[in-house]
């Protein structure tokens, strides 16, 4: 298996090197693809230095900040071109604990998509305020109500996809950037019939650096998620072929 972890970065100079060294020190056989949006704090330069030191580290530089969803779409494309068998989404700020990577790798051998879930038994959140947790839990509930998803944590950004899942998705239809990107990906996987498994994780809020959360991301999620059923009606309205 050739797993690639896509790590989008923007101003993560305080976190990236420590994250890369910790993941590679676990010796899980993974490669990392850093997608940096021209971070003014020098994150891209740190990524280049790490790529010179470790053959498992690859770097994509983009001209400016274009959003999380755009970074993942780009990263997925490059990871598949690299020959990845499965592709991770993972934040650079340690909110996604690297210790779960072996569990993801085990689960992805049996499922098409693995989502690190805060809201199933065994999962949880540390160091979040009540408002932030309310927004997150409310976002997942909103997604379930409007899309019919059964995923408990539809906004989670710690995930792993088999390569065939990503090849089956038409990414030209996905414009979402923040939480809405995660919900849209979960919804597409559902309507395409892929097996989605939720792996319990404990999410810990970042210790250094600044959160990328904004009101714009929240509002994008509200209006985009509410229209997902209509947007993908051409897929959901297709007749189910008879069983052979």
Q: What are the angstrom distances between the C-alpha of 14 and each of 24, 41, 93?
A: 18, 9, 9
Judge contact between 197 and 107, C-beta under 8 A.
Answer: yes
Given this model, what pLDDT does residue 244 score?
36
Helix (H) or strand (E) holding 160: strand 159-162
**Both tokens of residue 220?**
């994008």
Given this model, what pLDDT does residue 134 score?
67
Q: How many whole angstroms from its chain centre is CA 209?
A: 19
CATH of domain 3-236: 3.90.550.10
What are the residue ranges spanned by the domains of the chain?
3-236
- Half-sphere exposure at residue 80, Cβ-oriented, CA atoms within 13 angstroms: 14
Could you tell me the pTM of the whole model? Answer: 0.89
Given this model, what pLDDT does residue 216 score?
62
pLDDT digits (tens), the chain, 244 positions: 999 999 999 999 999 999 999 999 999 999 999 999 999 999 999 999 999 999 999 999 999 999 899 999 999 999 999 999 999 999 999 999 999 999 999 999 999 999 999 999 999 998 776 776 766 777 778 888 878 899 999 989 999 999 999 999 999 999 887 778 999 999 999 999 999 999 999 999 856 545 545 566 566 656 677 788 899 999 987 654 443 3
State the Cα–Cα distance between residues 201 and 91, nearest whole angstrom: 14
Given this model, what pLDDT does residue 207 score?
62
């Amino acid at each position: 298996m050739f797993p690639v972890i896509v790590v989008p970065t923007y101003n993560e100079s305080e976190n990236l090197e420590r994250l890369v060294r910790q993941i590679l020190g676990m010796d899980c056989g993974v490669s990392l693809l850093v997608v940096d949006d021209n971070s003014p704090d020098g994150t891209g330069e740190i990524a280049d230095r790490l790529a010179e030191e470790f053959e498992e580290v690859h770097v994509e530089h983009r001209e400016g900040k274009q959003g999380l969803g755009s970074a993942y779409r780009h990263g997925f494309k490059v990871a598949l071109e690299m020959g990845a068998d499965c592709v991770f989404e993972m934040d650079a700020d340690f909110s996604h604990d690297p210790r779960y990577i072996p569990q993801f790798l085990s689960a992805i051998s049996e499922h098409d998509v693995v989502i690190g879930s805060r809201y199933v038994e065994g999962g949880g959140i540390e160091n979040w305020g009540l408002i932030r947790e309310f927004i997150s839990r409310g976002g997942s509930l909103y997604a379930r109500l409007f899309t019919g998803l059964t995923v408990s944590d539809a906004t989670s950004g710690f995930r792993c996809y088999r390569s065939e899942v990503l090849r089956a998705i038409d990414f030209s239809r996905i414009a979402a950037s923040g939480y809405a990107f995660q919900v849209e990906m979960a919804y597409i996987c559902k309507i395409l019939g892929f097996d989605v498994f939720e792996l319990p994780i404990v999410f810990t809020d970042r210790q250094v650096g600044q959160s990328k959360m904004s009101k714009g991301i929240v509002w994008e999620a509200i209006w985009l998620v509410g229209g997902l059923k209509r947007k993908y009606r051409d897929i959901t309205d297709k007749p189910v072929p008879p069983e052979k």
